Each structure stands twice: as structure tokens, then as C-alpha cells.
């Protein structure tokens, strides 16, 4: 097969970027011809070891450098190879920065993403057998490409746009622009041949958004990479040899639940002296630092920003319990911790909680009651044998069900089925 993969800007590290790149690598290994189309690329910051093995075609915004910076997502300005120097030089204006954040939050999807994705769809060449797009709003590019190329489209819908299922996203000025985005998105989704999701939670979101069925296909993980890592160096580096170490890996956003992890540490530190918390992620952490200071646990929290897979595996290996108090449609970091044989405590609003059996291969708690977390951690602290058994079962589950090869094989079958149905429909 000749497969066109479409993604939003590949300018940093994250679960979505890793997923599409790993899929491309595996499909190539199976003998397929694969090409990734995106609007921006940073080879140094977005998994360079995988990028160098793949054919990645950058189709930039049609206005290029003429595009007003206030409409360009800040992550592209900060992380893409183009415009980085000019943006740094012009970053002195606090008013300009505030305007970019405000406008970016409210309006950039139409002036930036819409023409950018349409441009990608217009310029994908003929000759592909199937289009597989990942991450909103790549479906806009896929819709445009399908009308030109007359091939089936399979959408790996990791997460439908937030405005479909989060009422607070429609507040303020968003009451005006979100309905416009919704019309565009639903129109594009109508042309998708098959929608794939990662979990039942994501399936519910997609069904409500687009009023059509979707299929669950679980993502993969580098199982042995995380399983074989040692955390000894990390514990020695940060003086954690005698500590009970908690870990959360996620970008520094209030929605990611680090507040719950910090409060868990605070509660445990009332009773236990040698408990530490590692928070590993990117983004502004000032609010989280202030919270640690307010609660008097700043000296017990280690903030990291790991950009290397080898180092990340060591971070997982260094912890005793992994915390995941998030509301997400999947949770790749959780699966990585499980691959490292770590007992995980995960919220019931995380898609990956669907593969967890409490006290078998992890522990699930009700996110509406985050005060449960300290008690659950304490139970594991005082039962080393239970921690070991849960960690072993976690690794066994991931090894049996969630490798990247299994994910790519499942996608390969779906592509073949979609191509056959499309030919039968159009013949």
C-alpha cells in the first residue's frame, strides 16, 4: 500500500507525535510506502531518531511569513525551525505577547489552521491508496485531499475537538467562533470513511460529536525500552536513595492534574518524612511551584523536563508509584509506566483506566474524589509485595496487548478493509 499520513505541526514531543511517527516506522517495516504531510516540522525537537527514517513533507501555511504572528500558535513560533529567531527578538512586548495568547486561544483555528490544513489537502499528490489523518484539525486536510484524490480516509481521532464535550470551552468570545469551527469540522467528518478512537471514553465523545459509530484501536508503547531501564542513576543524582518516590509525567497544565499529585504529597508528608514527588513535563510551571511553596513541600518536589527517551525511561524506573490524575481519552505516559513494571494510580476519567483492574494491574480512583489518592498511595507504600505484583501484571498486560507492532498491524488491516469497501462502493 501507498499510505498518506497527515498530522498537525510536528514541532515537539508528545503522545500524538510519537503515535504517528511510530506507526509510520512500523508500516515501512512491513513493506508499505509511507509519507507524512504536516504544516511545520522541527527535526531536532520532534523525535529526530524517527524523523530521519521517514519521508516527511512540510506544506507550510499558504501565507508563509506574511501571516500575522498574532494568528500563529505560539508553539509553532517557539519550536519550528522557521521564525524562531525573529520571534525571540520580538518577544519583548508584553502587550504583543498578551494579544497573541488571547487571540490564539480564541481565534487562531480559522485564520491559521483552516487555510493551513486546506493547503495540505490541496497539495498531497496523487497515487496514494489510503489517507490516514491524526489529531484535530487534520480531518480538514483529509477532507480536501479525498475530494481530489478519490481515495478512502481513515481518521485516528485521538480526541475530538474540546468544544464538543466541554461546556466551559464555549464561554466568552468562543460562543461566536466555536459554532463556526463545529460546522466546518462536522462537514469534514462526514467525508471520513472510518473513525478510529483509543478508548470507550473517546468513543463516547466521537459518537456525540459526529453521530456515527467509531472503532477502538489501542495505541502502542516501546515495551522493552521502558521495562529494561534502571532508575539508580536518577535516585543518586537527586538524593532519593532512601525516599519513597511518586511520579507524574505530563505537560505542566492545571488540567493535567499535577495539583492533585502535589496535594497528595502534602497529605503524605504529614505522616511520612521521606516521600518525594517528581513532576516531569513541559510548559510554564510557575503556578505549580507557587502551590508547593504555599503547602510547604517545595523541597520535596522535583520539576523536570525530559526530552530524551533514554532519560525518560530512567525517570519511570526511579519511581515507586506512578500517579495519573488526569481526564484524557487515553494516557500514553500511564502505559509507559506500566511497561516499566510500576504500580499506577489512575483516574476513572482516563481512557486507559479501561484496561486496569484495581489491585491486579493498577489502581483506579474516582476523579471526583481526589482526596482518595493519598490513602491509595499509603496502601501501596506499606505493602511492597502488592506493589511488586501489580507492577508485574501491568508489564504483562502491556507486553501482550499494546506493542507498536500490534497497533500498526491493526491499522494495516483497517486500511486494507477501507480500500476494499471504497472500491466496491465506487465501482
**DSSP calls for 340-401:** TT--EEEETTSGGGGG--BTTTBEEE-TT-GGGHHHHHHHHHT-HHHHHHHHHHHHHHHHHH
| Overall residue count recorded for the chain in this entry | 427
Region for residue 400 given its phi and psi (left: phi exceeds 0; alpha: psi -120 to 50; beta: otherwise): alpha
What span, in angstroms and rounded, lies between the C-alpha atoms of 136 and 155? 10
Estimate to the nearest angstrom the gap between the alpha carbon of 154 and the chain centroid: 19
Query: Is-same-fold flag (2-220+404-426; 223-401)?
Result: yes
- Backbone phi, psi, residue 131, to 5°: -110, 130
**What CATH number should be reported for the domain whose range is 2-220+404-426?**
3.40.50.2000
Helix residue ranges, H only, 211-355: 223-227, 232-237, 258-269, 286-295, 309-318, 332-339
Question: What's the pLDDT at 69?
Answer: 62
Residue owning grid cell 466551559: 168
Sign of torsion over alpha carbons 76, 258, 349, 377: positive
Exposure class string for 338-365: b at 16+ Cβ within 10 A, else e: bbbbbbbbbbebbbbbbbbeebebbbbb
The 33-38 sheet, strands edge to edge? 56-58, 33-38, 2-6, 130-134, 153-156, 194-197, 215-216
Give 10-residue mean pLDDT values along the chain (427 residues): 96 88 98 96 90 96 68 56 39 52 51 86 97 93 94 92 65 68 86 95 90 94 96 97 96 86 97 97 92 97 92 97 94 95 97 96 97 97 98 97 96 98 91
- What span, in angstroms and rounded, lies between the C-alpha atoms of 285 and 253? 8
Domain ranges of the chain: 2-220+404-426, 223-401
C-alpha distance from residue 409 to each of 38, 88, 236, 284, 415 (Å): 23, 43, 40, 38, 10
Determine the pLDDT at residue 168: 62
Superfamily of domain covering 223-401: Glycogen Phosphorylase B; (3.40.50.2000)
Among the listed residues 98, 148, 96, 139, the one whose alpha carbon sits nearest the alpha carbon of residue 117: 139
Closest to 249 (Cα-Cα) out of 291, 280, 209, 283: 280
CA atoms of 213 and 393, how far apart (whole Å): 32
Contacts of 118 (CB under 8 A, 6+ apart): 140, 141, 144
Residue 91 has a pLDDT of 40
* Cell numbers for 47: 523525535
pLDDT of residue 190: 92
CB count within 10 Å of CB 424 equals 8
Amino acid at each position: 500500500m501507498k499510505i498518506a499520513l497527515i498530522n498537525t505541526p510536528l514541532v515537539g514531543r508528545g503522545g500524538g507525535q510519537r503515535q504517528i511517527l511510530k506507526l509510520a516506522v512500523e508500516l515501512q517495516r512491513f513493506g508499505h510506502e509511507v509519507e507524512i504531510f504536516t504544516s511545520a516540522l522541527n527535526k531536532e525537537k520532534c523525535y529526530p531518531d524517527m524523523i530521519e527514517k521517514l519521508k516527511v513533507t512540510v506544506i507550510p501555511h499558504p501565507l508563509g511569513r506574511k501571516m500575522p504572528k498574532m494568528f500563529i500558535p505560539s508553539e509553532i513560533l517557539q519550536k519550528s525551525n522557521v521564525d524562531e529567531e525573529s520571534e525571540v527578538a520580538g518577544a519583548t512586548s508584553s502587550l504583543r505577547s498578551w494579544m497573541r495568547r488571547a487571540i490564539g486561544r480564541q481565534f487562531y483555528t480559522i485564520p491559521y489552521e483552516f487555510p493551513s490544513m486546506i493547503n495540505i489537502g490541496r497539495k498531497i499528490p496523487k497515487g496514494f491508496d489510503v489517507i490516514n489523518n491524526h489529531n484535530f484539525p487534520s480531518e480538514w486536510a483529509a477532507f480536501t485531499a479525498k475530494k481530489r484524490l478519490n481515495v478512502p480516509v481513515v481518521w485516528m481521532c485521538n480526541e475530538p475537538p474540546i468544544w464538543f464535550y466541554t461546556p466551559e470551552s464555549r464561554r466568552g468570545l468562543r460562543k461566536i467562533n466555536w459554532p463556526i469551527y463545529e460546522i466546518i469540522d462536522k462537514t469534514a467528518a462526514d467525508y471520513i470513511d472510518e473513525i478510529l478512537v483509543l478508548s470507550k471514553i473517546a468513543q463516547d465523545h466521537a459518537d456525540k460529536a459526529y453521530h456515527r459509530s467509531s472503532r477502538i484501536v489501542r495505541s502502542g508503547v516501546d515495551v522493552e525500552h521502558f521495562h529494561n531501564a534502571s532508575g539508580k542513576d536518577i535516585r543518586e543524582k537527586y538524593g532519593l536513595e532512601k525516599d519513597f518516590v511518586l511520579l507524574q509525567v505530563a505537560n505542566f497544565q492545571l488540567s493535567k492534574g499535577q495539583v492533585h499529585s502535589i496535594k497528595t504529597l502534602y497529605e503524605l508528608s504529614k505522616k511520612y518524612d521521606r516521600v518525594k514527588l517528581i513532576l516531569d513535563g513541559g510548559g510554564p510551571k510557575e503556578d505549580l511551584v507557587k502551590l508547593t511553596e504555599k503547602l510547604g513541600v517545595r523541597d520535596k518536589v522535583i520539576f523536570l523536563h525530559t526530552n530524551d527517551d533514554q532519560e525518560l525511561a530512567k525517570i519511570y524506573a526511579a519511581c515507586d508509584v506512578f500517579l495519573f490524575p488526569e481526564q484524557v481519552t487515553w494516557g500514553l505516559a500511564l502505559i509507559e509506566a506500566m511497561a516499566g513494571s510500576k504500580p499506577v494510580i489512575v483516574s476513572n476519567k482516563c481512557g486507559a483506566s479501561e484496561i486496569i483492574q484495581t489491585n491486579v494491574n493498577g489502581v483506579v480512583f474516582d476523579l471526583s474524589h481526589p482526596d482518595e489518592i493519598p490513602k491509595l498511595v499509603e496502601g501501596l507504600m506499606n505493602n511492597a509485595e502488592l506493589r511488586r505484583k501489580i507492577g508485574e501484571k501491568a508489564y504483562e498486560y502491556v507486553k501482550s496487548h499494546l506493542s507498536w507492532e500490534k497497533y500498526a498491524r491493526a491499522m494495516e488491516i483497517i486500511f486494507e478493509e477501507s480500500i476494499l469497501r471504497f472500491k466496491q462502493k465506487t465501482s
